[in-house]
Chains A and B, each alone.
Chain A
Amino acid sequence: MTPLTLTATDARPGPAKPKRTAWVPTLVLVLGSLYCLIPVVWVVIAASKGRSELFSTFTFAPGTGFAANFKELSSYRDGIYWQWMANSLLYAGGGALLSAAVSAGGGYALGRFAFKGREFIFKLMLAGVLVPSIVLTVPQYLLLSKLGLADSYWSMLLPSILSPYGVYLVRIYAAAAVPGELLEAARMDGASEWRIFSRIAVPMMMPGLITVFLFQFVGIWNNFLLPYVMLADDTKFPITLGLYTLLTQGASQPALYTLVIMGCFLAILPLIALFLVIQRFWSLDLLSGSVKA
Chain B
Amino acid sequence: MTATPLKGSDRTTAGPLADGTATSVRPRRLRRRGRSAPYWFLVPALFLFAAFTVVPIGYAVWLSLHKVQVKGIGLGKGAREQVWNGLGNYTDVLHDSEFGHSVLRAFGYGLIVIPTMLGLALVFALMLDTPQARSAKFARLAIFLPYAVPGIIAALMWGFLYLPTVSPFYYLLREFNLPQPDLFDGGNLYLSFANIAVWGGTGFNMIVIYTALRAIPQEIYEAAKIDGASDLKIALRIKIPIVMPSLVLTFFFSVIATLQVFTEPMALKPLTNGLSGSWSPLMAIYDAAFFRSDIYGASATAVVLALATFALSFTLLRVSDRYTREDRA
Is the contact region of chain A dominated by helix, strand, or loop, or is it mixed? helix
Contact: B128 with A193, CB < 8 Å?
no
Docked-complex contact B132 and A102, CB < 8 angstroms: no
> Which A residues are CB-close (under 8 A) to B3?
123, 126
Q: Are A187 and B53 touching (Cβ within 8 A)?
A: no
Task: State in angstroms the CA–CA spacing of A38 and B196 once bound together.
Answer: 13
The minimal Cβ–Cβ distance linking B167 to chain A, given in whole angstroms, is 7
B302 contacts A134, C-beta separation under 8 Å: yes
Query: Is the beta-carbon distance between B52 and A158 smaller than 8 angstroms?
Result: yes
Contact with A along B128-166 (1 / 0, CB 8 A): 101111111111111111111111111011111100011
Mask: chain A, 31-43; 1 = CB below 8 Å from B; 0 = not: 0110111111011
B124 lies within 8 A of A113 (CB)? no
In this assembly, does A97 line the interface, its C-beta being within 8 Å of a C-beta of chain B? no
Name the B residues within 8 Å of A114 (CB-CB): 17-18, 20-21
Q: How far is the CA of A110 from the CA of B271 in the complex (A)?
A: 48
Q: A91 in the interface, Cβ–Cβ < 8 Å?
A: no
Distance of A46 Cα from B290 Cα, bound (Å): 35
**Shortest beta-carbon distance, A43 to chain B, in Å?**
5
In the bound complex, do residue A125 and residue B4 qualify as a contact, i.e. CB atoms below 8 Å apart?
A: no
Which of chain B's residues has its CB closest to A58's CB?
B171
Q: How far is the CA of A108 from the CA of B215 in the complex (A)?
A: 25
For B286, give its contact among A32, A193, A229, A248 (CB under 8 Å).
A229
CB contact between B44 and one of A106, A143, A260 (< 8 Å): that residue = A106
Check A284 against B207 for contact (C-beta < 8 Å): yes
Contact (Cβ within 8 A) B26 A159: no
- Name the contact of A32 in the complex, choosing from B124, B131, B157, B231 (C-beta under 8 A): B124
**In the complex, per-residue mask of B110-139: 1 if CB is within 8 Å of any chain A CB, else 0:** 000000000010011001101111111111
Cross-chain contact B166 with A15 (CB below 8 angstroms): no
Q: Among A64-72, A73-81, A219-227, which stretch is in contact with chain B?
A: A219-227
The interface residues of chain A lying within 8 Å CB-to-CB of B168 are: 42, 58-60
| B133: chain A residues within 8 A (beta carbon) | 10, 25-26, 29
User: Closest CB of chain A to B57's CB: distance in Å?
Assistant: 7
Any B CB within 8 A of the CB of A54: yes
In the complex, whether A111 has a CB less than 8 A from a CB of chain B is yes
Asked whether any CB of chain A lies closer than 8 Å to the CB of B178, the reply is no
Residues of chain A lying within 8 A (CB to CB) of residue B282: 132-134, 225
Q: Bound state CA distance, A167 and B46, in angstroms?
A: 11
Q: Does B241 contact A (CB under 8 A)?
A: no
Residue pair A184, B52 in contact (C-beta under 8 Å): no
**Least Cβ–Cβ distance between A267 and chain B, in angstroms:** 6
Interface membership of A244, Cβ < 8 A: yes
Task: Name the contact of A268 in the complex, choosing from B153, B262, B285, B289 (C-beta under 8 A).
Answer: B153
Query: Which residue in B41, B63, B160, B302 is a CB contact (below 8 Å) of A261?
Result: B160
Give the contacts of B211-262 with A (CB-CB under 8 A): 211-212, 214-215, 218, 225, 231, 246, 256, 259-260, 262
Measured CA separation A287–B246 after assembly (Å) = 13
Q: Are A32 and B267 in contact (CB under 8 A)?
A: no
Instruction: Write the nearest CB–CB distance from A104 to chain B, whole angstroms.
Output: 8
In the assembled complex, A234 has its CB within 8 A of some CB on chain B: no
Q: Could you tell me the distance between the alpha carbons of A14 and B46 in the complex, rounded to whole angstroms?
A: 50
Q: Is B179 close to A, CB under 8 A?
A: no
Q: Return chain B residues, CB-CB under 8 Å to A167.
A: 45
Report A249-281 CB contacts with B as 1/0, cut-off 8 Å: 011000001001100100110011011100100
Q: Which listed residue, A9, A131, A239, touches B57 by the CB 8 Å rule?
A: A131
Give 7 A-B contacts (CB < 8 Å), ordered by A residue. A24-B132, A26-B134, A29-B128, A29-B139, A42-B161, A102-B44, A184-B20
Known A134-B262, A184-B26; 18 more pairs at CB < 8 Å: A9-B140, A32-B142, A32-B202, A36-B202, A39-B146, A46-B166, A60-B168, A101-B44, A110-B42, A114-B17, A135-B306, A162-B53, A172-B8, A187-B30, A240-B153, A268-B150, A279-B141, A285-B211
Q: Residues of B with Cβ closer than 8 Å to A?
A: 3-9, 11-13, 16-22, 26, 30, 33-35, 37-46, 48-49, 51-53, 55-57, 59-60, 63, 120, 123-124, 127-128, 130-154, 156-161, 165-168, 171, 199, 202-204, 207-208, 210-212, 214-215, 218, 225, 231, 246, 256, 259-260, 262-263, 266-267, 270-271, 282, 285-286, 289-290, 295, 298-299, 302-303, 305-306, 309-310, 313
Closest 7 pairs (CB-CB, A-B): A14-B131, A180-B19, A106-B45, A113-B38, A29-B139, A33-B142, A109-B41
